[in-house]
Chain A
């Protein structure tokens, strides 16, 4: 089965900022959550812009539901729910007005479901959005994105600004959403703990380049970090090293197969690695 979202060699350059999204390729299978990770300015929002056609890519192919989306493919956009970081909707609206506008835009807008989410998120129906806190605005955006029964959710830093309890509730909603086999989520975030909880795949991007894409289980259970002394590091086979970072008295080395490496280098301490540490090693570390 082809993926719900597939990017092939996407390139986009901005001459003014000298930033380039460089041959980016990854795929999001049906029924999965893909965590899209990278530091600020890495190119996450640009990539999402290219996917949603708010930014015109220079080259490459993006397939949504097996098709390249053009401006007139409104039926495709019916199947996509989007949440941006920050103020998604005009502040002078109320949630009620938002629902009225959305019902005129989406053929499948479910007013009852929207009201259910408002109730669940404890959001007022008739208060102006400009009086909402940042967390409330994000919850409203998530409610709106879910209320037209999309198949694909694209969330750009959607959980930032939410307190840990609310974030946890949101993550549960996302997990519920992907229980349907034809549903998927692209979740851009730098809150890596969220991704550890829900993501099936994680894609790392740095300076507009894809540096790693793997299943979360692989990253957590197969990938490992070696804590080496200088002499131990010199003895490592370069083929085993994905990235390394020198610290005060040790060198941390990211490897793809922790168990194999543990057998191979018995005198080196091997630790499990968190998504955060992988990101730090990939971004701040070097490769051989």
Chain B
């Protein structure tokens, strides 16, 4: 497992280096100016981007023979999938930390950058939820359709899965708004529901992906 995680981290790192430089520069700029809409976008896009880089590692592996080679290593297929899920969680955390640092710096310099601290939590939960939904859809779909569509279609899958994640989040938010009365406590409940559903979808996606991957031939 240690080797699989290292493999995934190296793979993600190779793509995330430039993203990190851009994120740091934009983050410094956003910490200096006061712009809640930009900071919201930065936070959501930042979390999703790191997460997307982590997820795209799967595609990279299957465009070379490495994906097949891994099956000959002393690891179980379920461990390979587990490492992919853990890698996405890790990079989602990295993607969360950077906007969190920028938001903290902005608060330190100018006071709370949003109308209320609660909006900060909402923004971060939205980014994390979108990332989890994207991974929950991407992993099983990629392994299911890899042979039909080919690894080169990985970017198409990514767009599709991100679209699905947005739709899921919109549905959940709509349902929450419809059935829960407005108010701070209820908004908090809505956030908890959004996060819980996305974590549940992610957790359920793991055994499903393992099941699909165990049947695949390479």
Which positions in A face B, CB cutoff 8 Å? 49, 52-56, 71-72, 74-75, 77-78, 80, 82, 84, 86-93, 97, 100-107, 154
Contacts and interface: CB of A to CB of B under 8 A. Distances in A.
Nearest to A130: B64
A26 B153 CA distance: 39
6 contacts: A54-B71, A88-B66, A101-B10, A103-B3, A104-B2, A104-B4
A53 B71 contact: yes
A164 to B, nearest CB: 24
A105 B3 contact: yes
Contacts of B214: 71
Interface size class, chain B: 20 to 34
Given A101-B7, A104-B4, A105-B73, A54 B64 contact: no
B26 interface: no
Given A71-B76, A78-B74, A93-B10, A88 B69 contact: yes
A90 B61 contact: yes
B74 A92 contact: no
B116 interface: no
B74 A104 contact: no
Contacts of B5: 104
How would you classify the secondary structure of chain B's contact residues: helix, strand, loop or mixed? helix
A74 B3 CA distance: 14
Q: Which has the most chain B C-beta neighbours within 10 Å: A54, A82, A87?
A: A54
Contact of B72 (A77, A92, A93, A100): A77
A91 B66 CA distance: 10
Interface of B: 1-7, 10-11, 14, 60-61, 64-66, 68-69, 71-78, 214-215, 217-218
How would you classify the secondary structure of chain A's contact residues: helix, strand, loop or mixed? loop
Contacts of A74: 74-76
Q: Which has the most chain B C-beta neighbours within 10 Å: A86, A97, A101, A107?
A: A101
B69 A101 contact: no
Nearest to A144: B69
Given A53-B71, A89-B64, A106-B73, 5 more contacts: A77-B73, A82-B72, A91-B64, A92-B60, A101-B10
B97 to A, nearest CB: 24
Nearest to A108: B74
A86 B65 CA distance: 8
